[in-house]
Amino acid sequence: MDAVSDIFAFAAAQADYWYEFLSGSDYSSILSDDEMKALEAARLHVEEGIYDLLVLSGAKLADKLSKDGVVTRNYQRGATIKWRKIRVDPPAAWKNRLYGFEFEFSPDDKNERVLLYASLVVKIAARDDLAAKLAKQGTAIRVDGYYIYGEGFAVDKDSTFDSLAQRAADALGSLFLAVK
């Protein structure tokens, strides 16, 4: 998939629908066989887009930070689709502060739509330090447990996967470089 389809964009624009739609629930008692086939085709289409966009984001991050020792790995398709996120390992020199970099699909703060987020997964001992450094630099972040989230990106119809993945990789690269 090269661009966000209307099906993918519609699913991402409705956070509650996103989870219900991708849950794999059985609607055979209320939908006809043809409707079930269409629903399953749409679900598979969105799952394929999730996988492709996340893996492309990880590859773009590795390209951006290769000089810092960031490399991607092979992702398990089923786990990536189920959890709707991937983790890229941090450079060896940063393993005492970071567990990794993540890209994930998650609802926005108002739980209205699903965005593509880039985040640092940090060790608790380093979290407050790193978050303070980012805040001091004026970087908009959200801290939640081990995660320091950067900007979320809308998955809009006709947006190219390449541009979305590049924006997410650039945002995560900027978070990392700001605390490096």
Average pLDDT over all residues of the chain = 91
Within-domain flag for 88: yes
Domain count, the chain: 1
> Using CA atoms, how far apart are residues 91 and 69, in angstroms rounded to an integer?
5
* Among 177, 119, 178, 112, CA closest to 146: 119
- Between residues 41 and 72, the one the model is more confident about: 41
- The verdict on pTM exceeding 0.85 is yes
Note the pLDDT tens digit of each residue in 104-125: 999 998 999 999 999 999 999 9
Q: What is the pLDDT of residue 69?
A: 79
Evaluate if residue 150 carries a pLDDT over 80: yes
Within-domain flag for 69: yes
Note the pLDDT tens digit of each residue in 46-56: 999 999 999 99
> Using CA atoms, how far apart are residues 118 and 61, in angstroms rounded to an integer?
10
Q: Where are the alpha helices (DSSP H) in 14-84?
A: 15-22, 33-64, 77-83
Instruction: Give mean pLDDT, residues 125-148.
Output: 92
- Between residues 68 and 11, the one the model is more confident about: 11
Within-domain flag for 1: no
Q: Where are the alpha helices (DSSP H) in 65-117?
A: 77-83
Cα dist. 57→86, 102, 163, 166 in Å?
9, 9, 10, 7
Which residues share a beta bridge with 160?
A: 3
Q: Which residue has the tokens 């951006």?
A: 64
Note the pLDDT tens digit of each residue in 57-93: 999 998 888 888 787 777 888 888 888 999 998 888 8
Q: Which two tokens stand for residue 12?
A: 């991402």
Q: One-letter amino acid identity for 118?
A: A
Which range of residues forms the domain containing residue 83?
A: 6-179
Evaluate if residue 172 carries a pLDDT over 90: yes
